Structure 1
Amino acid sequence: MGYSRPLLFFILPIILGLHAPAIADDDDNGVCTLTADYCWSCSRTNETFNNGSIYERNLHTVLSSFSSNKTEINSGFYNYSLGQGSAKVNAMALCRGDVPLNDCHSCFDESISILLQNCTNKKQAIIWAQRCTVHYSNVSIFGVVEDDPVKFVPGPTNASNAEQFKLVLNPLLEILSEKAAAGNSTTKFAAGHALVPASKTIYAIVQCTPDLDRQDCSDCLKEATSDIRKCCEGKEGGRVLRPSCNLRFESNLFYDAASDSLVNLPGTQGNNTGNGTSNITTKVSPSSFLGLLLSLCLSSAYAFF
């Protein structure tokens, strides 16, 4: 006896209502669970749909396809539209760039269930999970930079040297953002770490939805980096969550080690061990070197005579 997947997604929110995630953070821009494994935002407009409406049927069909079409989500990014006019649903699902596809598909299922449970009858909603993002809307969201909503998740621990931490964090995010923006139509993700002298290591990831072009991705991540001062400046960790891009930084490795690499910041070399020193290489042009050599020879000659 088989039940259709759309029907399954009607039933799941009712079942999961018995085990609703505990909420720790609730503001105008969204809600997070106690551990911030899931943060979501329902539409703040008055646009809703009625039970049994064509929009509802289209929504459940689209969302269920994220689970049923696993073979089509080989890149970790999936988008789908269904319907016409006011009943049209646009949706996308994105895996974090370092997450295995099986884990990502599980994340899709869990995230969709939370959205359907908590954003009842809303035509627009988004959820940022640790491993994936799911977003749906009644307006076009493909190839469009969306600035709202923005959710902040500051870490609990203050940096021991906030100013020095910032001097490493900002260029680290800038370099990673450039790398992510240069990605292709299926992946715009970058991860890496940098060393804070006489302090801790900063690990960071940045990601855009790959439907954005290079410039839009770069602009979105610049805005996200600027948002850090509103929520997470002086913290050892934090997340800035936007519909079109997101970033996260921590003082411990929180992503797949296979995606990690040391990011050499301007003025430092890869053998910086974080012991409070920074090795800086000064480049001397051939003409300058010859001038220096001539001066030394003349000085030696004058000293001799």
Structure 2
Amino acid sequence: MASHHRRHLPLYLAIFLAFLLPPLASSLWQSCGSSANFTANSTYQANIQALSATLPKNASTSRNLFALGSVGTLPDIVYALALCRGDTNASACNDCVSNGFEEAQQLCPYNRDATIYDDPCYIRFSNQNFLSPTSGDNGALILTNTQNASEPAKVFDAAVGALINATADYAAGNSSRRFGTAEEELQPKIYGLAQCRPDMAPADCRSCFAEIIPYITKYMSGKQGGRILGQRCNYRYEQYTFFTGPSLLQIPAPSVEAPAPAPVNATPATPTPPGGASKKNGAARILAITLPIVAAILVFVVICLCLRRKRRKPVRKAPLSIALDFIHHETDNVFYLMIDPTNPEDIQSIESLILDLSTLRAATDNFDESNKLGEGGFGIVYKGILPGDEEIAVKRLSLSSRQGIEELKNELVLVAKLQHKNLVRLVGVCLEEHEKLLVYEYMPNKSLDTILFDTYRSSQLDWGKRFRIVNGIARGLQYLHEDSQLKIIHRDLKGSNVLLDSEFIPKISDFGLARLFGSDQSQDVTNRVVGTYGYMAPEYAMRGTYSIKSDVFSFGVLILEIVTGKRNSVAYDSEQSVDLLSLVWEHWTMGTIVEIMDLSMTSHSPGDQMLKCIHIGLLCVQEDPADRPLMSVVTVMLSSSTVSLQAPSRPAFCIQKSGSNDSYMHTGPYRGVSESTSRSPMSPNEVSITELEPR
């Protein structure tokens, strides 16, 4: 049975690195299945909601804190399981299972198969029947505390081995809940917890432990703590108490010779047969001859690989499938990435993203001030050079910034999955000694705003470069919204988040505030509005509603900044506090739009192309999201000279100067004016601009 489950156990390996996080945060880990998604308001979703209403009570009132259930008929049948930890009370169990169903639909949106692990419980639902206690695991997580034990590794591993075997054996054979806890009299003590599904037979429980325990030896040797979370059994050990109540077992500290963790009830070693001594001596002579030769070959191969690696620039490929979350505990804060080992490319890719702190310190001259590229709300960015002369930009997130932690989660989850010439490439990540470092490809021309709004450098951006930048940003957003496997809303598009490479090719960066949408999802609402005023769409700034059209609004503001060379946040009339949108609209309606073009561009710039960009920018900043074009439509508008552009209405957040016959436009939270009673479309001087010819 063990070999059967081993073949069907796609184990999700984890990479873990410790850093300080606020205590008492919720500990959640998710595993989202690969089956097809369901749609909003579908029968499948209704069946999940029905199970979420009954399973919490069924589990919490059960003697074993365990419940199974299924609702519906094919093809919309949903199977579900809830199991609370054996030391959890009924109230905590009910709350944990209820929250688990809610979190599953947030962390695995519209996924037909989802598992949520929390400290007190775990839940799973799926369209596949996994309810049998002998069903193979759908996956497991290996999590580790990266702090080394104070004892020598040999001593500590021997103690952990004795603790694990004893606790697992107790859970399998001596508890109706298939649950056990233990403590070992090492100094400091080691505490262990083991649990199987209560409906498993003792032999099946032992078989499950036999599969997962060897991974503790493989990945957690000499570490202060670790856990393996499977869907039929799980195990954890730490050097502090993490469970409720007294330990069910007291285990004396073993000698150094005690066995390391091994499968429960593992087959004993085969006795040496008669004549074995002479065979052993012969084998020893063979080893004495062959080992030096093998060692010499291995040394030669290693030297060749090192020389080859040194000559070649390191190649890093973003993983195809990556998930991210945090483990929280008062004294155990761990960061990990999960990858699917059934795809070898994923394993190689995620490993290539992990960079050593020593490497980044050497690359940046220990984060020397002379290598500082810039500073933002989440930390400082430094220039560095990796071995192989690869130039990088290292974002060093603030140690105290909780928002920086959330940004880091988003950056790794989203950027690592995205591949496009107009999106910044993530080179790697480092989380050591409480440092949180994100490493990107280096952009020699820094961010767009550092050139565009600089009196002396803005002349570097002639109209040809600016038009290519507008096109590149549009293509990058189209990829995020429509062309990638994911549907991503950036939520903070602005000049400082557009980086320029040596050829002035734009790359969208900073996905810390980005949000992932389901394929059928059109919008969402948040109670926590984040971003940059001036670039926020009105429906987002005032009601928290965001969608791909929110990014289109930000893009429209950015186009107007690029063409005019003016910041949107600056007041251009001290008496009226007229902002950029108001200024552009005023000149657009008066037919004097040329007067506010950036003077740093040459006089030979194609005015019709610039006028078209202003027109597109105004269409993108319309108050009603439905009036804003999709980014795929914008790219067509930019590239075609025959596409007809509709006349724009007065943009959102627009204030008309006094003396005008037009009424004020509805504004955001930082403008105090009344709503407009008229939104008639207007075009400058009633001249059509639908027959533009490129030059």
Which residue of structure 2 aligns with residue 187 of structure 1? Answer: 177
Offset at residue 86 of structure 1 (A): 2.1
Report 1:117-136 matches (<5 A).
117-136=106-125
Contact 1:30 1:40 in 2 (8 A): no
CA offset digits 1:118-172 (Å, max 9, x no partner): 1111111111111111111111222134333121211131012211111111122
| CA displacement at 1:257 relative to structure 2 | 2.7
Instruction: Give the structure-1-normalised TM-score.
Output: 0.70
- 1:37-186 to structure 2, matched below 5 A, reads 37-43=27-33, 45-69=34-58, 72-142=61-131, 143-160=133-150, 161-182=152-173
- Report the RMSD for the aligned CA atoms in angstroms: 2.7
Tell me which structure has the larger Cα radius of gyration: 2
SS state of the match for residue 50, structure 1? Answer: coil
Cα 1:81–1:183, aligned 2, differ >3 Å: closer, same or farther? farther
Runs of 4+ in structure 1 off by over 6 angstroms are 27-32, 265-268
Q: Distance in 2 between matches of 1:74 and 1:93?
A: 13
Counterpart position of 1:223: 211
Asked if the contact 1:170/1:225 (under 8 Å) is kept, the reply is no
**1:191 and 1:205 in contact (8 A); partners too:** yes
2:72 partner letter? G
Give 5+ residue unaligned stretches, structure 1: 1-26, 269-305
CA distance in 2, matches of 1:149, 1:267: 35
Q: 1:68 to 1:177 in 2, by over 3 A?
A: closer
**Which SS does the other structure have where 1:149 is aligned?**
coil
Residue identity opposite 1:221 in structure 2: F
Structure having greater relative contact order (Cα 8 Å, sep ≥ 6): 1
SS at match of 2:98: helix
Q: How does 1:232-247 map to 2 (within 5 A)?
A: 232-247=220-235
| 8 A Cα contact 2:143 2:226, kept in partner | yes
Match of 2:250 among 238, 259, 262: 262
Bigger Cα displacement from structure 2, 210-219 vs 121-130: 210-219
Q: Which residue of 1 aligns with 2:548?
A: none
1:53 Cα offset (Å)? 2.1
Q: 2:26 & 2:207 partners in 1: Cα distance?
A: 26
Secondary structure at 1:236's aligned position in 2?
strand
Structure 2 CA distance, aligned partners of 1:31 and 1:265?
30
User: CA separation of 1:28/1:244 partners in 2, compared to 1, >3 Å: closer, same or farther?
Assistant: closer
Q: Quick one: which amino acid aligns to residue 183 of structure 2?
A: H
C-alpha distance in 2 between matches for 1:47 and 1:231 = 33
- Return the offset for 1:112: 1.8
What is the CA-CA distance between 1:99 and the residue it aligns to?
A: 1.1
SS at match of 2:91: helix
The residue type equivalent to 1:38 in the other structure is L
Q: How much identity, in percent, do the aligned residues show?
A: 27
Structure-2 change in CA distance of 1:87 and 1:118 (3 Å): same
User: Which residue of the partner structure matches residue 200 of structure 1?
Assistant: 188
Output the amino acid matched with 2:28.
Y
Contact residue 59 and residue 66 of structure 2 kept, 8 A: no
SS in 2 for 1:237: strand
Q: Deviations over 1:12-38 (max 9, x none)?
A: xxxxxxxxxxxxxxx966899x66711
Offset of 1:74 from its aligned partner? 4.1
Q: Structure 2: which 5+ residue stretches go unaligned? A: 1-10, 257-695
Counterpart amino acid of residue 61 in structure 1: A
Kindly tell me: are residues 92 and 30 of structure 1, through their superposed partners in 2, closer, same or farther at Cα, counting changes over 3 Å?
A: farther
Indicate how the Cα distance of structure 1 residues 188 and 104 shifts in structure 2: closer, same or farther if over 3 A, else same. Answer: same
Which position in structure 2 is the counterpart of 1:290? none
C-alpha distance in 2, partners of 1:156/1:131? 23
Change beyond 3 A, Cα 1:103–1:62: same
- Aligned pairs, how many? 237
Letter in 1 for 2:142: F
Q: Deviations over 1:173-223 (max 9, x none)?
A: 111111111256x61100001123xx3211000001112221111111122
Q: Say if 1:221 and 1:245, in contact at 8 Å, map to a contact too.
A: yes
User: Normalising to structure 2: TM-score of the pair?
Assistant: 0.32
Distance between the aligned counterparts of 2:144 and 2:39, measured in 1? 36
Structure 2 distance, partners of 1:81, 1:133, is 17
3-state DSSP of counterpart to 1:113: helix
Distance 1:230 1:212, change over 3 A: same
Cα shift readout 1:75-114 (whole Å, capped 9, x = no counterpart): 3111111122221111111110111111111111222221
SS of 2:122's equivalent?
strand
Q: Measure how far apart 1:52 and its partner are.
A: 2.3
